[in-house]
Structure 1
Amino acid sequence: MSPLHLYDDARARTFEPFALTRPAGELRAGALLVRQRWEQALALTAAGFVGAPHLASFEELDAPAASTDVLPARAIVANARFAPALAVADPDADVWACDGRVAAVRLREALPVDRLADGTLELEALADPQARTAPIRGWWMQEVWDYVGQLTTMLADDLPVIGPTLQPMYHGATVLGTHPVFVEAGAHVEPYVVLDASAGAIVIRREATVQAFTRVVGPCYVGQASLVTADKIAACAIGEVARVHGEISTSIVLGHSNKAHDGFVGHSYLGRWVNLGAGTTTSNLKNTYGTVALWTPAGVRDTGLQFLGTLFGDHAKTGIGLQLNTGTVLGAGANVYDRMPPKAVAPFAWGGAAPYDTYDVDKFVDVAARAMARRQVTLGARGAAQLRAAHARGTGR
Structure 2
Amino acid sequence: MSTTHPASLRVALVSEHASPLAELGGPDAGGQNVYVAQLADHLSLRGHDVTVYTRRDGPGLPPEVLTPGGVKVVHVPAGPAARVPKDELLAFMPEFGSFLARHWRAARPDVVHAHFWMSGTAALCGVRGLGVPVVQTYHALGTVKKRHQGPEDTSPPQRLTIEAAIGRACRRTLATCADEVEELVAMGVDRDRISVVPCGVDPRHFAPVGGPRDAAGPRRLLAVGRLVRRKGFDRAIRALAEVPDAELLVAGGPEAGLLFAEPEAERLRKVAEEHGVADRVTLLGAVPHERMPHLMSEADLVLSLPDYEPFGIVPIEAMACRTPVVATAVGGHLDTVVDGVTGALVAPDRGQDHRLAEVIRTLLDDPERLARYGRAGRARVLAHYSWERVADGVARVYSSTVRATPSLSGAVR
TM-score relative to the length of structure 2: 0.26
More strand by share: 1
More helix by share: 2
TM-score relative to the length of structure 1: 0.27
